[in-house]
Amino acid sequence: MWGDAATEYAHYCQYITGLIRQYTKRPATTLLNIGCGGGKNVLNLKHEFKLTGLDLSPTMLAQAKELNPECTFVHGDMRTFRLNNTFEAVLMDDAISHMNCRADIVAAFHTAYAHLNPGGVLVATPDVTIETFQQNKTTTTLATRDSLEVVFIENVYDPDLTDEQYETIIVYLIREHGRLRIETEQWTMGIFSLDTWRHVLRETGFQVHEELYNLGEDEYTVFACVK
């Protein structure tokens, strides 16, 4: 587990556990993490809930499984997958930014709704909204493990402020035993106004509550949505 990120995930997961307990209308023991990535949220939530993680990337799922061998992981696309079971809570956070058009975000929320028991809670946290987006914001994070040091440089840029997409560019400076390798990734992400989020969540059928989560200087709107 990367040192620096661990504390942030733990703090956030403690916060969303509190939100689920606050809004749920039924005892919450099971949680589906949609877009679980490498499983860091799963790691921090599995002591509170029986966890299932879902992701589109087999590589990320393999990492999540390695970190959390006792949990269940499923391969699927959040726009379309349907499991045979339902859960008392669902978490969708940074992965939802990959929904880069209105139809995709609508589909992803319908997926979440279909997998919740009545009275259960979806926690959805947009990374950015039109209201919070900062053009050319660049963040740098250092993570170390054994003889590996990785500097993540993440830049966000919106070439057209009138549409619902922006770009995320990540540069990885990877030093293994001091030897440098550079890798890059570029994504087209979705960005929507808070009103669009509210509208789409209500249209899906949720009763929507809004909270604010503070992390350092950044403030995130968190939607706690009851089915």
Ligand X SMILES: C[S@@+](CC[C@H](N)C(=O)[O-])C[C@H]1O[C@@H](n2cnc3c(N)ncnc32)[C@H](O)[C@@H]1O
Q: Which positions touch ligand X (CB under 6 A)? A: 35-41, 55-57, 60, 77-79, 93-95, 98
Three-class SS state of 165: strand
Instruction: Using CB positions, name the residue nearest to ligand X.
Output: 37
Tokens of 111: 């997926």
Closer of 119 and 150 to ligand X (Cβ): 150
What is the distance between the alpha carbons of residues 222 and 172, in angstroms, rounded to a whole number? 29
Closer of 60 and 124 to ligand X (Cβ): 60
Three-class SS state of 1: coil
Closer of 93 and 164 to ligand X (Cβ): 93
Closest separation in Å from C-beta 150 to ligand X? 15
As a whole number of Å, the end-to-end CA separation of the chain is: 34
Closer of 38 and 126 to ligand X (Cβ): 38
Closer of 144 and 207 to ligand X (Cβ): 144
Closest separation in Å from C-beta 196 to ligand X? 19
Phi, psi at residue 221, to the nearest 5°?
-80, 130
What is the distance between the alpha carbons of residues 67 and 55, in angstroms, rounded to a whole number? 15
Closest separation in Å from C-beta 170 to ligand X? 10
Q: Please, are residues 32 and 90 in contact by the beta-carbon 8 Å criterion?
A: yes
Closer of 14 and 207 to ligand X (Cβ): 14
What is the distance between the alpha carbons of residues 194 and 92, in angstroms, rounded to a whole number? 16
DSSP character for 27? -
Closer of 96 and 121 to ligand X (Cβ): 96
What is the distance between the alpha carbons of residues 167 and 58, in angstroms, rounded to a whole number? 23
Closest separation in Å from C-beta 98 to ligand X? 4
| CA distances from residue 40 to 94, 158, 165, 213 in whole angstroms, order as listed | 12, 28, 26, 18
How many other CB atoms sit within 10 Å of the CB of residue 48?
18
Closest separation in Å from C-beta 119 to ligand X? 25
Tokens of 221: 């709107």
Closest separation in Å from C-beta 71 to ligand X? 12
Closest separation in Å from C-beta 25 to ligand X? 26
